[in-house]
Amino acid sequence: MNRLCAVAAAAALAVMPSPSDAQRPQRPWSPELGVQGGFSRFKASGTGRRADQADFFDVPGFTLSPLVPASGATALYAIIPVHGKLALEPSFATSQLEGGTGLGLTLVMASLRGDYALTRRVYAAAGALLGFIETTGQHQTQLGLTAAVGYRLHLARRLNGRVEANWQTTKKVKLLPPWNTYSVLFGISTPVTGGATDHSALASQDAMGGGGGRPGSRWQPAIGLQGGYQRTHLVGGSGDITVMSFPSWGSGLTTSPLGGAIAPSAPTMYVIVPVAPRLALEPGVDLHRTQFKSVTAFSGNFAGRLDYALSGGWYAAGGVNLHLIKATKGAFTDTTKTTVSVPGVNLAWGYRFHLSGELAGRVEINYTMFKQNGDLSQATNTVGLMVGAAMPLH
């Protein structure tokens, strides 16, 4: 009987947490980098019940136009633990546009807020906004406030997600009206430090084609975001379009109030899927939808390419594109149509490297070509110098 009691006591002690484990508090926040997008409703302040709102859906979000800087305006964000349940969250998006008609536009939207963990998953946030616009030789700074409530969730071993309701408001300045934006945003993020386990060496191996994917693969499964410089040439025409943006606009200019220019480029988001030791499939996408009064425009930018790992971190890639546009009847040359698609091809040459913690980076030159479409646009060729950051999925 005594022996049985001793065995039972030993088993109970084995499954009980050690005093150090019981006393070690679970941190509500960890250092992370992320990207977000989703639905936003923009409404000018002081207009009451007037139906002057504009609705946007952007995956991911990005700076859009001088009159509507609110659609996913702070798409890139970072989580910085401060103390206990409190973390700081800086976020931003920026773009610079030069058009052949002499249009020049620089936009910067930044936010700094405090995130407070109400529970392990639920949080509330509040902070300040800063907007900057420069156009036609004038520049202006606009200040505002932001508040949010959200829910955090775990997506994969190295990937976290969140869903939040977000409100932004600004005061009137000379170049910009006061406005309110009500958003429902979805974000994905990854740790930038290894935490209790140092993943830096693993992330470095992954960036250079180490473990994490198929046995012997030079690739690992990952989801990434890119931005940088893109110049679009309208074949047979004039008025080339140059955009410098973080994150990339992708095909977002198609649905922009700037005039709906059909100037798609490489997709903003991409996924790496290893298929062979040196080969990976890379689908890419960005989605944008704008609705104002009775006019609706949707732009879907889809791509699929094969990435081939060369020596070190170098790689080459090539594939196909599809730009899908759906708009209110009457928007195209054939007024009976509501949907038009334009096929294209793409080529790329790049270099992969380790950034920090779980993040792997890349720099690449890509070339995207879309054919002419009689209902829509001229043929376009786009050269891009892009910087990407990828979050591992394993």
Structure tokens at 138: 């004038």
- Domain residue limits, the chain: 27-192, 198-394
Nearest Cα neighbor of 128 from 112, 117, 141 is: 112
Q: State how far the Cα of 367 lies from the Cα of 308, in Å rounded to an integer.
A: 16
Question: Does the domain at residues 198-394 carry the CATH identifier 2.40.160.20?
Answer: yes
Query: pLDDT confidence of 54, banded at 50, 70, 90?
Result: confident
- Predicted local confidence at residue 374, as pLDDT: 74
User: For position 127, what pLDDT does the model report?
Assistant: 96
pLDDT in tens, 241-252: 888 988 888 888
Q: Could you tell me if 206 and 190 are in contact, meaning their C-beta atoms sit under 8 angstroms apart?
A: no
Q: Are 288 and 298 in contact (CB under 8 A)?
A: yes
Give mean pLDDT, residues 108-128.
95
* Residue 208 near residue 354, CB atoms below 8 Å: yes
Tell me the pLDDT band of 261, cut-offs 50, 70 and 90: low
- Which residue's structure tokens are 């955090």? 152
Q: CA-CA distance, 50 to 42, in Å (whole number)?
A: 13
List C-alpha distances in Å: 347 to 192, 233, 312, 317, 321: 30, 16, 20, 6, 11
Q: How many CB atoms lie within 10 A of CB 175?
A: 17
pLDDT at 45: 81
Which residue in 266, 269, 270 sits closest to 346, CA to CA? 266
Measured between alpha carbons, how far is residue 197 from residues 190, 202, 359 in Å?
A: 14, 11, 15
Residue 333 has pLDDT above 80, yes or no: no
Cα–Cα dist 9/236, whole Å: 84
User: What's the pLDDT score for residue 378?
Assistant: 78
The token pair that represents 184 in the structure block: 């429902």
- Separation between Cα atoms, residue 272 and residue 281, nearest integer Å: 6
96, 106 contact by CB (below 8 A): yes
Question: CA–CA separation, 69 vs 44, rounded Å?
Answer: 12
Segment 316-340 shows an average pLDDT of 88
User: Average model confidence (pLDDT) for the chain?
Assistant: 82
Poorest-pLDDT segment among 11-20, 50-59, 73-82, 349-358: 11-20
Q: How confident is the model at residue 101 (pLDDT cuts 50, 70, 90)?
A: low
> Rounded to the nearest 5°, which phi and psi values hold at 137?
80, 0
Task: Record the tokens describing residue 359, joined without a space.
Answer: 């993040």
- For residue 8, what pLDDT is reported? 43
For the chain, the C-alpha Rg in angstroms (whole number) is 24
What integer pLDDT is reported at residue 120 of this predicted model? 94
Is residue 1 very low, low, confident or very high in pLDDT (cuts 50, 70, 90)?
very low
What tens digit of pLDDT does each residue of 135-167 get? 777 888 888 899 999 999 998 878 899 999 999
Reported as a pLDDT band with limits 50, 70 and 90, residue 213 is: low
The yes-or-no verdict on residue 177 having pLDDT over 50 is: yes
SS (H, E, C) the chain: CHHHHHHHHHHHHHHCCCHHHHHCCCCCCCCEEEEEEEEEEEEECCCCCCCCCEEEEEECCCCCCCCCCCCCCCCEEEEEEEECCEEEEEEEEEEEEECCCCCEEEEEEEEEEEEEECCCCEEEEEEEEEEEEEECCEEEEEEEEEEEEEEEEEEECCEEEEEEEEEEEECCCCCCCCEEEEEEEEEEEEECCCCCCCCHHHHHHHHCCCCCCCCCCCCCCEEEEEEEEEEEEECCCCCCEEEEEECCCCCHHHHCCCCCCCCCCCCCEEEEEECCCCEEEEEEEEEEEEEECCEEEEEEEEEEEEEEECCCCEEEEEEEEEEEEEECCCCCCCCCCCEEEEEEEEEEEEEEEEEECCEEEEEEEEEEEECCECCCECCEEEEEEEEEEEEECC
Q: What is the CATH number of domain 27-192?
A: 2.40.160.20
Amino acid present at 29 = W
Angstrom distance (rounded) from CA 140 to CA 69: 13
Q: What is the pLDDT of residue 6?
A: 47
Q: What is the pLDDT of residues 294-321, one digit of tens each?
A: 888 899 999 999 999 999 999 999 999 9
Residue 348 has pLDDT above 50, yes or no: yes
Q: Which two tokens stand for residue 264?
A: 């798609």
